[in-house]
Structure 1
Amino acid sequence: MGETEANAIRAHPDLKLVTVVVYARQRLNLEEPGIREVPLTDPKAEFQYKYTGLRLLIESNRQYFLVSVCWPGTRAIALPADGSIRLETLNDGKKQSCPKGR
């Protein structure tokens, strides 16, 4: 069953994986295709960077494992689930997909 589910995720990540926005205190240097980094302008804000173009693969062992909207074909990203980042799920009906040409 696990292999069947993994194949379904690989075939249709946009239908199987939750789209997330990551807010970080410091720059994460996430440079996979489809990921967009936006520096936030409020110097007093707890989080200084916003990252879009990500999907949550799994949370395990106090880590978030994320993939780009261009996955498969890009690397998985592990981020700590320790309060140094904030993860927000998107459920606004907008489908995020890999930019054209990728």
Structure 2
Amino acid sequence: MAALAFPLVAGSARRGAGASRALRRLCVAAVLPVVALLVLGLAAGFEVIDAGPLGTPLLIGGALLLALLARLLYARGTGAAFPVPGERVALGVTVAILALCAYWAVGNYAQQKGRADAEQLSHNLQVRPAVMLDTAQRLALDWPGVRETPLPEEGAGTHFRYRYEGLRLLAQSDNRMFLIPRRWIWATGNVLVLPIDSGVRVAFHAG
């Protein structure tokens, strides 16, 4: 919103000396919230206060972005050159920290979103397909809700020996399936990564 309002505010500053002075005072007054945001961001980073996983990058990045916009408006209101030679390094460091805060916030949000999705999935496992898995070798899955049944030898050409029920399909990527037990818990649950080849036989069903 501040970036979109920049042309309007800068244009009003050129209409008269009074508007230009008011704009300069506004830019100077922006120093107080910048300092407050930086202090809160550092406090959140050192865990002095609890600002959540997004608090530190948003507070620090917001403070630097506000300072940068205030400096741009001040230069536009006074007609001074920007950046002056002494500000080029500071401007480069500010932009680099802003980019770092953006990646930091996105990474923390992705981690938080994935954890929330896993917790929600653990309470709604019925939405995932149920899996009946036949294997040639015993997997020894001592998981709650998973039942292992030895298969009879029907003929010399049959190499499937064990059947596992009580599994659900979590995801599939390339030639691998990610299976979870029916009573999976997101905090301590296990995931079986199974290659899709001639050594397994999979049947999906509802339930």
Letter in 1 for 2:125: P
Q: Partner of 1:83: helix, strand, or coil?
A: coil
Give deviations 1:22-57, integer Å, cap 9, x for gaps. 000111111111111101112522311100010000
**Residue correspondences, number:** 91
2:140 pairs with 1:25 = no
Deviating more after overlay: 70-79 vs 38-47: 38-47
Paired with 1:25 and 1:59, the residues of 2 have a C-alpha distance of: 21
Q: Which has the larger strand fraction?
A: 1
1:89 alignment counterpart:
204
Paired with 2:195 and 2:140, the residues of 1 have a C-alpha distance of: 15
Letter in 2 for 1:11: H
Q: Which of 148, 151, 162 is equivalent to 1:40?
A: 151
**1:61: how far off?**
3.1
Moved over 6 A (4+): none
**1:67: how far off?**
0.3
Letter in 1 for 2:176: Q
Q: Which of 97, 121, 124 is equivalent to 1:9?
A: 121
TM-score, scaled to structure 2: 0.40
Give deviations 1:44-85, integer Å, cap 9, x for gaps. 223111000100001113111000011124201111112210
2:164 alignment counterpart:
51
1:100 alignment counterpart:
none
Q: Which has the larger helix fraction?
A: 2
* Pairwise CA RMSD: 2.1
Q: Which of 160, 174, 194 is equivalent to 1:61?
A: 174
Give deviations 1:3-39, integer Å, cap 9, x for gaps. 575554232011x210010000111111111111101
What percent identity do the matched residue pairs reach?
31
Gaps of 5+ in 1: 96-102
Q: Which has the larger radius of gyration?
A: 2
Letter in 2 for 1:27: R
Letter in 1 for 2:149: V
Paired with 2:137 and 2:117, the residues of 1 have a C-alpha distance of: 34
Letter in 1 for 2:128: L
2:192 alignment counterpart:
77
TM-score, scaled to structure 1: 0.76
Structure having greater relative contact order (Cα 8 Å, sep ≥ 6): 1
Letter in 2 for 1:40: L
Deviating more after overlay: 37-46 vs 79-88: 37-46
Paired with 2:119 and 2:162, the residues of 1 have a C-alpha distance of: 33
